[in-house]
């Protein structure tokens, strides 16, 4: 299934894509795509629906992030071997886990806001994992059972803050609009192997990033298991799993985002994001 949320910011309704790629309204079935709705039993009930009988949503409404409530927004640093190498950093021995403020979550096509004092804004296409069931101390071999599905994430970062000293990552990665998710949440039955997905990012029509989740240092299952030993993961938690090579700070010359730039992000089976960078007054 491809689950989504549509409508104006703060007024989004739950929806689902039908076989023709049209949005069907789910608001008569579930109140929100969050919490227990993301659990296995709930998703099984949604999968059993005759989607064609649901109300058709006319036009092309704005899409919000596909999860209505994100209790924790976690990221993984340097999780692609070739990305770690391009930054000149050592290959991590254990996952590097950081947090993004949940207030940075935005829709897949919403503008990315550029404050005047941010001069080194960077892009990172990532596979985002959405937790569906409470997970604490889970084994690697069972970890994917706790996943509701996957979506595209863009871990937008202001590098001047990230490199400003210990503990600065959350400031660098949490400005409003720095966490686009979507366009939809694709359930695990449609993504049987999260370790074989192509990722790309284009900036103003030029390919910047190309990668495949097969080159991740730590797999999705390993990440879920590892994080669950340090904190309980709950439904709606999002983990962005690292980015392939080609980020702006590692290019020669460096390439950073500026107002007017347009981004297209793709992950196989998960759709596309289209975003424009807009100056924040």
Per-residue pLDDT of 148-163, as tens digits, reads 999 999 999 999 998 7
pLDDT for 3 beyond 90: yes
CA distance 230 to 238: 15
Helix (H, G, I), strand (E, B) or coil at 99: strand
Contacts of residue 270, defined as CB under 8 A and 6 or more positions apart, other chains included, come to 127, 150, 151, 152, 184, 186, 191, 197
Kindly provide the b/e burial profile for residues 166-185, where b requires at least 16 CB atoms within 10 angstroms of the residue's own CB: eeebbebbbbebbbbbbbbb
Arithmetic mean of pLDDT, 97-118: 97
Task: Please give the pLDDT value at position 81.
Answer: 84
Task: Please give the pLDDT value at position 202.
Answer: 98
CA distance 105 to 174: 9
Tokens 């730590």 sit on residue: 218
Percent of the chain residues past pLDDT 90, beyond the cut: 93
Percent of the chain residues past pLDDT 70, beyond the cut: 99
- Strand ranges inside the chain, DSSP E: 2-6, 13-17, 23-25, 63-64, 73-77, 96-100, 105-106, 112-114, 121-122, 125-131, 147-154, 157-158, 179-180, 185-187, 198-203, 206-212, 238-240, 262-267, 272-279
Task: Please give the pLDDT value at position 87.
Answer: 76
Contacts of residue 215, defined as CB under 8 A and 6 or more positions apart, other chains included, come to 80, 81, 82, 244
Domain 67-279, what fold?
A: Fumarylacetoacetate hydrolase; domain 2 (3.90.850)
DSSP state of 141: G
CA distance 243 to 214: 12
CA distance 14 to 72: 20
Candidates 265, 63, 68; CA nearest to 148 is 68
Per-residue pLDDT of 90-106, as tens digits, reads 889 999 999 999 999 99
CA distance 80 to 197: 13
For residue 220 the two structure tokens come to 């999705």
Per-residue pLDDT of 248-267, as tens digits, reads 999 999 999 999 999 999 99
What integer best gives the mean pLDDT of the chain?
Answer: 96
Domain boundaries of the chain, sorted by first residue: 67-279
CA distance 109 to 272: 9
Per-residue pLDDT of 155-186, as tens digits, reads 999 999 987 666 689 999 999 999 999 999 99
Per-residue pLDDT of 176-225, as tens digits, reads 999 999 999 999 999 999 999 999 999 999 999 999 999 999 999 999 99
Task: Please give the pLDDT value at position 91.
Answer: 87
pLDDT classification of 84: cutoffs 50, 70, 90: confident
pLDDT classification of 85: cutoffs 50, 70, 90: confident
Strand partners, 6: 13, 63
Return phi, psi of residue 213, to 5°: -65, -10
Candidates 18, 275, 40; CA nearest to 147 is 40
Instruction: Tell me if 170 sits within 8 A of 259, measured CB to CB.
Output: no
Task: Please give the pLDDT value at position 166.
Answer: 60
């Amino acid at each position: 299934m491809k689950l989504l949320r549509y409508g104006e910011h703060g007024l989004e309704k739950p929806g689902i894509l039908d076989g023709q790629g049209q949005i069907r309204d789910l608001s008569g079935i579930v109140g929100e795509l969050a919490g227990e709705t993301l659990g296995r039993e709930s998703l099984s009930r949604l999968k059993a629906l005759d989607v064609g009988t649901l109300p058709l949503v006319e036009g092309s409404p704005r899409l919000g992030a596909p999860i209505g409530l994100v209790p924790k927004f976690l990221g993984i640093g340097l999780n692609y071997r070739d990305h770690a190498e391009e930054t000149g950093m050592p290959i991590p021995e254990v996952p590097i886990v950081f947090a993004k403020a949940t207030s940075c979550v935005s829709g897949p096509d919403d503008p990315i806001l550029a404050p005047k004092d941010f001069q080194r804004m960077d892009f990172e296409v990532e596979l985002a994992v959405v937790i569906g069931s409470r997970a604490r101390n889970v084994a690697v071999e069972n970890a994917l059972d706790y996943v509701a599905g996957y979506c595209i994430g863009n871990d937008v970062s202001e590098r001047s803050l990230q490199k400003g000293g210990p503990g600065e990552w959350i400031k660098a990665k949490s400005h409003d609009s720095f966490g686009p998710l979507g366009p939809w949440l694709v359930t695990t039955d449609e993504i049987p192997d999260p370790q074989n997905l192509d990722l790309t990012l284009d900036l103003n029509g030029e390919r910047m990033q190309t990668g495949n989740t097969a080159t991740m240092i730590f797999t999705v299952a390993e990440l879920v298991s590892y994080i669950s030993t340090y904190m309980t993961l709950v439904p709606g938690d999002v983990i962005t799993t690292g980015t392939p090579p080609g980020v702006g700070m590692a290019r020669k010359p460096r390439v950073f985002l500026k107002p007017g730039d347009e981004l297209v992000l793709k992950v196989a089976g998960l759709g596309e994001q289209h975003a424009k960078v807009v100056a924040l007054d």
